[in-house]
A and B are shown apart, each in its own frame.
Chain A
Amino acid sequence: MSAALLLLRREMALSWNGGGGPLLACGFLLSLAVIVPLGAGPRLDQLASLAPGLVWLALSLASLLTLERLFERDFEDGTLDLLALGPLPDEGVVVLKALAHWLTIGLPLAAMTLPVGISLGLTPAQLPLLALTAAVGALAFSVTGALGAALAIGARKGGLLIAVIVLPLFLPPVIFGAGALVAQADGRSPGPALALLCACALVAVVIGVLAGAAGLRGSRT
Chain B
Amino acid sequence: MDIESGSQNDGAGMIRLTLEGVAVRRGERRLFEDLNLSVRPGEAVALTGANGAGKSSLLRAIAGLLTPEAGRMRFDDNGQDLDLEVARTRHLHLIGHQDGFRSGRTARDELAFQVGWCGGGPGGIDEAVRALGLEGLMDLEVRRLSAGQRRRLALARLLAAPRSVWLLDEPLSPLDARWRAEVGQLMQAHLAGGGIILAAVHDPLPIPARTCEIGGTA
Contacts and interface: CB of A to CB of B under 8 A. Distances in A.
Interface of A: 2-3, 6-7, 10, 13-14, 17-18, 73-74, 76-79, 81-87, 220-221
The main secondary structure of chain B at its interface with chain A is: loop
A18 B104 contact: yes
B117 A77 contact: no
Given A81-B94, A86-B117, A220 B101 contact: no
B67 interface: yes
A76 to B, nearest CB: 7
Nearest to B98: A78
A76 B67 CA distance: 19
A76 B98 contact: yes
Interface of B: 60, 63-67, 88-90, 92-94, 96-102, 104-105, 109, 113-114, 116-119
Given A18-B104, A85-B88, A221-B66, A78 B96 contact: yes
Contact of B96 (A7, A74, A81, A87): A81
Contacts of B93: 85
A85 B96 CA distance: 13
Contacts, number: 71
Contacts of B66: 220-221
Contacts of A7: 113, 117
B89 A77 contact: no
Nearest to A4: B117
B116 A81 contact: no
A156 B162 CA distance: 37
Contacts of A10: 109, 113
A-B interface, 5 closest residue pairs, ranked by CB to CB distance from nearest: A78-B98, A78-B100, A79-B100, A82-B100, A86-B117
Contact of A82 (B105, B109, B117, B119): B117
A15 to B, nearest CB: 12
13 contacts: A2-B116, A3-B116, A10-B109, A13-B105, A17-B104, A18-B102, A76-B98, A81-B94, A81-B100, A82-B117, A85-B64, A87-B90, A220-B65
B26 to A, nearest CB: 11
A78 B100 CA distance: 4
A120 B97 CA distance: 51
A85 B114 contact: no
Contacts of B92: 85
Given A85-B89, A87-B89, A221 B67 contact: yes
B116 A14 contact: no
A79 B99 CA distance: 7
B101 A77 contact: yes
Nearest to A86: B117
Contact of B118 (A13, A73, A74, A85): A85
A185 to B, nearest CB: 45
Point out which of B60, B66, B113 has the most chain A C-beta atoms below 10 A from its C-beta. B113
Point out which of A6, A78, A82, A220 has the most chain B C-beta atoms below 10 A from its C-beta. A82
Given A6-B116, A81-B98, A85-B63, 7 more contacts: A10-B109, A18-B102, A77-B99, A78-B98, A82-B118, A85-B93, A220-B65
Contacts of B90: 87
A77 B102 contact: yes
A82 B116 contact: no
